[in-house]
Amino acid sequence: MKNSKGSFYKRFVKRPLDFALSLVVIIVLSPVFLVVAILVRVKLGSPVLFKQKRPGLDEKIFTMYKFRTMTDERDGNGELLPDSVRLTKFGRFLRSTSLDELPELFNILKGDMSLVGPRPLATIYLPFYNEKEKLRHTVRPGLTGLAQINGRNTVNWEQRFNFDIEYVKNISIMLDLLIILKTVSKVFKREGVVVRGTTEVVSFHIYRQAQIDKNKETLNK
């Protein structure tokens, strides 16, 4: 049986609420945006914003915005140095405090994203999702989500996707409010944070391909 209240919220309330709240937060935090933008420009250079293509609702590709966290340092051949080298102390601070994700509020304002939903992942992952995992793209991706308040980047891929699917199946205003409140708490406490470039995190497409190869080897034995 469908959750009629959750369905009404998802269809008629969630998007207008996202628009209103993101607009208010952008206005309230405009001084923070300005300070961070200036610091990024001074410490890391230009451009201030990092842009990357991500899949959104129904796998429609959009451009996601973040504050830049790495330099453009290159080796003698003109190749970019490893993330661990280009990620400065200031960049780590931006990531650990989630300040780098503030520009995503403009994605929410535009309708590319929602305040709460499964996090938008890399487009290279798209061919590797199974049918169940694809359900995460039946809603707008979020600035935060159920997976983020249950371990954030410290949980494995199966656990993360299970949280995503659980959210998709149980969307409600109370669940969204709970996730937002817990996210604020975790950001201030800096809990469950794995800063890319400082810790080895296996990308999903590599992780899933390893599973596929292992299953093939098992079948061929």
Task: Decide: 155 and 193 in contact? Cβ < 8 Å.
Answer: no
Give the residue, 198 or 24, on which the prediction is more confident: 24
- The confidence band for 2, taking pLDDT boundaries of 50, 70 and 90, is low
pLDDT, tens only, 32-44: 999 999 999 999 9
Can you tell me the distance from the alpha carbon of 210 to that of 188, in angstroms, rounded to the nearest whole number? 36
**In the prediction, which pLDDT does 117 show?**
97
> Angle at Cα 181 formed by Cα 39 and Cα 152, nearest 5°?
70
- Partner residues linked to 53 by β-bridges: 63
**In the prediction, which pLDDT does 36 show?**
97
**Is pLDDT at 1 greater than 50 in this prediction?**
no
- Partner residues linked to 54 by β-bridges: 62
- The confidence band for 7, taking pLDDT boundaries of 50, 70 and 90, is confident
pLDDT, tens only, 154-173: 788 999 999 999 999 999 99
Task: Decide: 95 and 69 in contact? Cβ < 8 Å.
Answer: yes
Q: What residue spans define the domains of the chain?
A: 4-220
pLDDT, tens only, 79-101: 877 777 888 899 999 998 999 99
Q: Which residues of 158-180 are buried (b: 16+ CB within 10 A; e: fewer)?
A: eebbbbbbebbeebbbebbeebb
Q: For residue 145, is it left (φ>0), alpha (ψ between -120 and 50) or beta? A: beta
